[in-house]
Structure 1
Amino acid sequence: MKLKQTPEDFRVTERTRYRTDPAGRFALYRVRKRGLATLEVVEILARMWKLPKQAIGFGGLKDKYGATEQVISIDGGPPRGLRQAHLSLDYLGRSRDPIRRESFTGNEFVIVVRDLAPDEAARIRERIGEVVRNGVPNYFDTQRFGSARGSGEFAVKRLLLGDSEGALRLALAVPTQEDRRRQKEIRQILDRHWGAWAECRRALPKCSERSIVTYLEAHPAGFRRAFELIDRNLRNLYCSAYQSHLWNRVLARVIRARAGTNVVEVPYGLGAFLFPRALPPATVESLRALSIPAPRHNMSITDPALARIYERVFEEEGILQKDFRLRGMQDTYFKRGNRTALIFPEGLSDEPDAPDELNPGRRRVTLRFGLPRGSYATLVVRCLTLAPPAPAANAHENSPIMDDAPDDEETA
């Protein structure tokens, strides 16, 4: 199976709510892009139109590997559009309100799944009914974790453990797979001259990292404050990525407790997704009703079993819930929020499979569906393309919560 073989194989249209008002201070634009992430678009516009990045408002962070469409706002932006090879902006008018995360409700997807054998294409069609009935576990998919370094480390976890210098070095000097050539070169300079701040500053080109190094040159022990000089959008990304990683681990344990051995395990770089098979209706309804909070210092959980799962995950990470407060930091924090355990794709349908023009002798399937804000279409595709089930024990209904559950099993 191949996904995103071309940008047009993964088309995303954001459902955005906005009202135009000629007297508004915010200019609105419809952005269409290919091969660029949303934050890269913000960088391009800030540089081209000489804007502070904080003036640019957007709803969701769209993946670079696709053809995506969303509405953004610019405080005092110009009444004109923009055309580049992989980016276009159409001016929509003005508004009294900026575009925020709350401005969009979800996304519509058109996805082409390629390089399928005939039986694999047929299996997707068979699985659609099951996904419509049972939903899809609402994990954060792997693209959420681009800020994790190759070793699977999160810079923000270092902050929680009190290692401010380690957090900053991970964020600035350790490469990621997403880095473009210039960013890789900047990280190499930072790593080579780390601690020798005057030399580091002289070696760096003009970039945001240079201002952080200049601060450290004057405040050699000020790593915690230096971390807050990183772009706010990136810091938010670092915090949310680690929250999402922990949330995924909690959901996987919940599904193991509810579905028993009747699951399919799909490994990924930071762990494994557990997908349940053919759950009883009562179990589906209990998971549909379950909302799991994001980890925070003041997170409140009334379900004792869910609280035990979180305690176990924190223990394995070597952290405490109170560590999420990030004392001494003014503008870096973990956002509150709850996320449903299951999602049910809206209007899920497929077109008849067809010959794959990019992979001779193979088939392709085109899928269409909508998802609420923050949910991942790639998880729906993963669920639709699961391998056939091997003989396994039957799934069980929810059992009463047992306080003496063994250490390697939670009931939630």
Structure 2
Amino acid sequence: MKLKSLPEDFEVEELSDFPMDGGPFAVYLLTKRSLGTPEAITAICHRWNFPRKVISYGGLKDKHAVTRQWVTILRGPRRDFREENFSLTYQGQASRPFEPQDIAANRFHIVMRNLTPDAARRILSCRESLERYGVPNYYDDQRFGSLGESGEFIAQPWCQGNYERALWLAIAEPNSHDRPNDRDEKEIIRHFWGDWVACKGALRKSSARSIVTYLVDHPERFREAFALLRQDMRSLWLAAFQSNIWNRCLAATLQQHVSPDHCFPVSLATADVPFFTALRDSADQALRNLQLPLPSARLHLEPGPLLDLYEQVLSPLGLALRELRVKYPRDSFFSKGERQAVIKPQKLRMHQADHDDQNEGRQRLTLEFILPRGAYATIIVKRLTLFPS
């Protein structure tokens, strides 16, 4: 069974005990559909004329789902705000901003449609193994939206000090998510790359044109030009690269522990990775509480299997673990911490399949579950739909 896209009915609710105890931070519930969190925040900034630095939120919710998440604005207005694809509903006041660590979990409600009766039965039959063994806690494709046609991460040449290449990937490389205006702008930049005067003359006013304007006067200062890109976007590019490396480390770990007859491959945006249908007792024990650290130069590992694993994954990328850092600008850095290797959905409910009112002769199946912060519900969906027939 092929998974071509997200299920049509996909809802995410952010769970938190964030205290509204008075203070200068206005607290809002952001509800959106068909819109990414950064795009919604940009619209709020423009509408209320706030700099991005006064707005805080916990996570990036999927643009293809109906999502509800918390947002705080320092000295924000005590009123609601609505646009076509999102609403911001005032909730109260807090003494501090809402941050990622304030997210307790996320609750998901998913309706899978257009299923054959056989596919619906097979999905329902996976419930016991899903609850018992869980799924690999991969970062899913939504994490890698900045990856362009070359498949090269912007942060890779950035870490290697190749600022021209990093800038080209950021403002010139085609991306399947580009809007028509962005696609046209990137084509102009590629065509005139290096001829900055002509490039500036061909571009309409935009943030990319501002960078090109800088290069007109400083044609070789790619490092400084790259630093003109938005800091929040540069942080996302670092996170995407780090997440890809972590995924590869997890995939290599699973290959060490999981029996081949219990493995099946799944194609993510960046690589084919192993999933499992079951775990032997030894593998279950090894993976149950395993946490893999997020790779970066700030990770000081003693010589041994874990350091060897990270170096083996980084070597084909032309990097060592000590080189996984950026020297400039110093306002962006790789995250530090650990991530659970395997997760299990909590409060899992799989409603019996019934008639799909949108697809004649097909069935629909409803899933409800809770996942910890940072885990992807689409990984659960892939586990249920992409297993071998």
Work out the CA distance in 2 between the residues paired with 1:13 and 1:288: 26
User: What residue in structure 2 maps to residue 264 of structure 1?
Assistant: 264
Work out the CA distance in 2 between the residues paired with 1:302 and 1:343: 27
Shift of 1:5: 5.0
For 2:54, the aligned partner's letter is A
Shift of 1:260: 3.4
User: What residue in structure 1 maps to residue 287 of structure 2?
Assistant: 287
Could you tell which deviates more after superposition, 127-136 or 327-336? 327-336
User: What residue in structure 1 maps to residue 274 of structure 2?
Assistant: 274
Work out the CA distance in 1 between the residues paired with 2:140 and 2:316: 21
Map 1:249-260 to 2 at 5 A: 249-260=248-259
- 1:161-207 deviations in whole A, cap 9, x for unaligned? 22110100101111212222222233223223322223333433332
Work out the CA distance in 1 between the residues paired with 2:170 and 2:152: 10
Work out the CA distance in 1 between the residues paired with 2:118 and 2:129: 17
TM-score (norm 2): 0.94
Q: Is the 8 A contact 1:152 1:269 kept in 2?
A: no
Work out the CA distance in 1 between the residues paired with 2:253 and 2:303: 12
For 2:159, the aligned partner's letter is L
Over the aligned positions, Cα root-mean-square deviation in angstroms equals 1.8
User: What residue in structure 1 maps to residue 309 of structure 2?
Assistant: 309
User: What residue in structure 1 maps to residue 367 of structure 2?
Assistant: 367
Work out the CA distance in 1 between the residues paired with 2:376 and 2:284: 19
For 2:109, the aligned partner's letter is V
Structure 2 residue 153 is the aligned partner of structure 1 residue 169: no
User: What residue in structure 1 maps to residue 125 of structure 2?
Assistant: 126
User: 1:325 aligns to what SS in structure 2?
Assistant: coil
Counting aligned pairs with the same residue, the percent is: 38
TM-score (norm 1): 0.89
Work out the CA distance in 1 between the residues paired with 2:180 and 2:369: 35
Map 1:225-264 to 2 at 5 A: 225-262=224-261, 263-264=263-264
- 1:338-390 deviations in whole A, cap 9, x for unaligned? 1111011111111111112222211111100011111100001111224347x
Structure 2 residue 6 is the aligned partner of structure 1 residue 28: no
Map 1:166-245 to 2 at 5 A: 166-245=165-244
For 1:338, the aligned partner's letter is E
For 1:321, the aligned partner's letter is L
Work out the CA distance in 2 between the residues paired with 1:53 and 1:181: 25
Map 1:26-175 to 2 at 5 A: 26-175=25-174
- 1:266-321 deviations in whole A, cap 9, x for unaligned? 12332112012321233212102211111101313358222222111111112122
Shift of 1:150: 1.4
Work out the CA distance in 1 between the residues paired with 2:302 and 2:136: 21
Q: Is the 8 A contact 2:264 2:388 kept in 1?
A: no
Work out the CA distance in 2 between the residues paired with 1:285 and 1:208: 51
Which sections of structure 2, spanning at least 5 residues, go unmatched? none
Shift of 1:20: 2.0
User: 2:104 aligns to what SS in structure 1?
Assistant: strand
- 1:78-104 deviations in whole A, cap 9, x for unaligned? 111112221111111221111111221
User: 1:17 aligns to what SS in structure 2?
Assistant: coil
Work out the CA distance in 1 between the residues paired with 2:269 and 2:328: 32
Could you tell which deviates more after superposition, 203-212 or 269-278? 203-212
User: 2:26 aligns to what SS in structure 1?
Assistant: strand
Distance 1:260 1:301, change over 3 A: farther
Work out the CA distance in 2 between the residues paired with 1:318 and 1:182: 34
Distance 1:383 1:44, change over 3 A: same
Distance 1:206 1:360, change over 3 A: same
User: 2:93 aligns to what SS in structure 1?
Assistant: strand
- 1:11-51 deviations in whole A, cap 9, x for unaligned? 000113322244x2211111111100000001111111111
Q: Is the 8 A contact 1:12 1:69 kept in 2?
A: yes
Distance 1:192 1:75, change over 3 A: farther
Distance 1:26 1:207, change over 3 A: farther
For 1:342, the aligned partner's letter is V
For 2:226, the aligned partner's letter is F
User: 2:349 aligns to what SS in structure 1?
Assistant: strand
Distance 1:236 1:130, change over 3 A: same
Distance 1:302 1:283, change over 3 A: farther
Work out the CA distance in 1 between the residues paired with 2:369 and 2:75: 35
Which sections of structure 1, spanning at least 5 residues, go unmatched? 390-412
Q: Is the 8 A contact 1:228 1:331 kept in 2?
A: no
Q: Is the 8 A contact 1:32 1:89 kept in 2?
A: yes
Distance 1:250 1:365, change over 3 A: same
Work out the CA distance in 2 between the residues paired with 1:304 and 1:186: 48
For 1:249, the aligned partner's letter is R
